[in-house]
Amino acid sequence: MASSCLAKLFACCCWMLVMVHAVDDGEGGAGMETGELLALFEVMGALLQDSGWAQLHPRPCTDTPWLGVQCEMVQDPYLHVTKLHIGPDVASPPCKSSARLSPAILRLPYLKSLSLLGCFLAADDESVPLPPSLFTNASSLEQLVIKSNAGLAGTIPPSLGSLRRLRVLCLSQNGLRGDIPRELGSLARLEQLDLSYNDLAGSIPAEIGGLSSLTILDLSWNGLRGEIPPSIGQLRRLQKLDLSCNNISGRIPAEAGRLESLVLLDLSRNSLAGPLPDGLSGLRRVQYFLAESNPIGTAIPRFLGAIKSLMVLDLSGCGLSGPVPPFLAALGNLTTLSLDRNRLSGKIPCSLETIPNLDQLNLSQNLLTGELAFSDEFVRRLGGRLDVRDNRGLCMNPPSHRNPLLPFYSQAPPCLTTASSISNSGPETNNETMKSISNTLRSNHATLIAGLVVVVIIAVASGV
């Protein structure tokens, strides 16, 4: 007991000495201003386990630097803390279990970048909120990244909207709840907004349209509801829009087609209804169009054929019906086409194999019919990435593709045996499809029978 008290006293004395020393130093030359230095010690003390941080780093801007602290000379002769970063890469463990964001942070007026990764990890009952009072219009913050903090809960403070200089706001992978505050819409300089992987609810505020500098908007993996606000079309610089894994409903607004800088659009796993507006053909740069698992329920929209920049098109599980349209073959940059888990019917257009870099084609779990007639070369190139399983009406003329290396292609039965079941197939098959199928079947029959005759002749001739 006594020795530990002594140790504490000693530590305390050292601390005082360090402080006096640091403060003395800081008053002149290239040092720091006293108030700012003390504020930094306070902020670090509230976060880090290591109570001796101030002792080890009495002059954090000069002689005793720390990887997570950066200083800059701004106007006056003093060095100012401009960047504070705490994460597994600079401290281990990053923060103490009772870590808090100290109000002393307000006394770091030159702080441009604050990042806290994996810092607040306390259990639910001890979770930490983001104190609203820490964010004011006097702040210099340009970058605020508070990420992967399971113990950070509560709501997003509306006061974040007063950080006028903010360019990056990332609050991803925390336990944040409640609505997205409309006040964030006033962050006119914001380039990146990432609120993914939280428990946010409510709808996307229309004010989001005010983020005129935004290039990245990621609201994925939350519990967002309501409709996509038409004001989203105002985000002319937006390159990435990820709203996947929420419960957003209604139709996609036609205004979204004005996002002419958009490269990635991910609307997967929501409750979005069809039809998709033709205006989306305005997405002239989009390479990733991902809308998997939404109740869209229409035919594959024609406008998709006009988006020549498309590389990955994923419309799996969208309740799509009608044919796999040949116009998709005009998408020359397509590498991945996922149309599985729909109600697509009719024949698979062979022209798809003319897409030069097509590397994944999933048409499984549909109502496709007719002969599988891709070339051997195409089938071999895609291998297991060509999936046509679970289409009852598909058949193939044996045996060239029967190769164990092509697991998802070669499972269709030979056309001869399925012919009658196809021509009697259910009401889903429309008139035109029916005609084309029965035509194909007729010609397939002819080929097959001719083939069999040849086989029999050869067999007889060779005396088997």
Residues that bind ligand NAG (CB under 6 A): 137, 225, 247, 249, 271, 308-309, 316, 333, 340-341, 362, 364-365, 384-385, 387, 408, 431
- Work out how close the CB of 316 gets to ligand NAG at its nearest, in angstroms, rounded to a whole number: 5
- H or E element that contains 4: helix 2-26
CB of 272 to ligand NAG, least distance (A): 10
CA-to-CA distance for 339 and 320, rounded, in angstroms? 8
Please answer whether residues 86 and 114 qualify as being in contact, where contact means their C-beta atoms are separated by less than 8 angstroms: no
User: Least separation, in Å, of the C-beta of 207 and ligand NAG?
Assistant: 17
CB of 324 to ligand NAG, least distance (A): 14
What's the CA gap between 306 and 161, in Å, rounded?
Answer: 39
| The residue type at 300 | I
Neighbouring-strand partners of residue 371:
395
Could you tell me the smallest distance in angstroms from the CB atom of residue 458 to ligand NAG?
37
Q: Which is nearer to ligand NAG, 121 or 224 (CB)?
A: 224
Nearer to ligand NAG, 150 or 434 (CB): 434
Orientation angle between helical segments 415-423 and 431-461, nearest 10 degrees = 150
For ligand NAG, the closer of residues 47 and 406 by Cβ is 406
CB-nearer residue toward ligand NAG: 215 or 309: 309
Which residue is it, tokens 């930094």? 40
Q: How far is the CB of 263 from ligand NAG (least distance, A)?
A: 10
| Least separation in angstroms between CB 341 and ligand NAG | 5
- Cβ closest to ligand NAG, residue 96 vs residue 381: 381
Dihedrals φ, ψ of 60, to 5°?
-65, -15
Radius of gyration for the alpha carbons in the chain, expressed in angstroms and rounded: 31
Minimum Å distance from CB 385 to ligand NAG?
5
Q: Would you list the DSSP string of 407-420?
A: TTTTTSPBHHHHHH
Shortest distance, position 305 Cβ to ligand NAG, whole Å: 12
Give the torsion sign (CA, 213, 218, 224, 230).
positive
- Token pair 């941080």 in the structure block, residue: 53
Nearer to ligand NAG, 136 or 375 (CB): 136
Do 309 and 332 touch, CB atoms closer than 8 A? no
Distance CA 85, CA 102 (A): 14
- Shortest CB 358 distance to ligand NAG, Å: 13
Using alpha carbons, select from 156, 258, 138, 135 the residue that is nearest to residue 199.
156
Nearer to ligand NAG, 52 or 181 (CB): 181
Closest by CA to 338, choosing from 276, 266, 410, 278, is 266
How many whole angstroms separate alpha carbon 463 and alpha carbon 41?
Answer: 96
Comparing CB distances to ligand NAG, the nearer of 25 and 142 is 142
Q: What's the CA dihedral at 408, 413, 419, 422 to 10 degrees?
A: -40
**70 or 336, CB closer to ligand NAG?**
336
Q: Which is nearer to ligand NAG, 42 or 390 (CB)?
A: 390
Find the shortest distance in angstroms from Cβ 285 to ligand NAG: 7
d(Cα 168, Cα 118) in Å, to the nearest integer? 18
Which CB, 213 or 333, lies closer to ligand NAG? 333
Would you call 16 helix, strand, or coil by DSSP? helix
Pick from 411, 399, 409: nearest CA to 448: 399
- Number of Cβ within 10 Å of residue 64's Cβ equals 14
